[in-house]
Amino acid sequence: MLNCKDASRLISQRQDRPLSVRERLSLQMHLALCAACVRVSDQVEFLRKALAQYTQRGAGPDDER
């Protein structure tokens, strides 16, 4: 069973690379039992989407300061 530190590491790494089957299953089991890590996962996903939207906007006149 993963601890929260390892789960957080996998949550971050899954943004950059595909997780192995073992890593995915371990993370899913941990997330099923740990509300704090679910919140971390939700926050990472929110930040990923927000950054993607920000970078898709492109540089406009308000962005040059």
The pLDDT value recorded for residue 48 is 93
pLDDT in tens, 30-58: 999 999 999 999 999 999 999 999 888 77
Residue spans of alpha helices (H) in 1-65: 4-13, 21-33, 35-57
Residue 28 or 52, more confident: 28
N-to-C CA span, the chain: 48
> What's at 37, amino acid-wise?
C
Sequence spans of domains, the chain: 4-56
The Cβ of residue 30 has, within 10 Å, a number of other Cβ atoms equal to: 21
4 in Cβ contact with 36 (< 8 Å): yes
Greatest CA span in the chain, whole angstroms?
A: 50
The pLDDT value recorded for residue 16 is 94
The Cβ of residue 36 has, within 10 Å, a number of other Cβ atoms equal to: 10
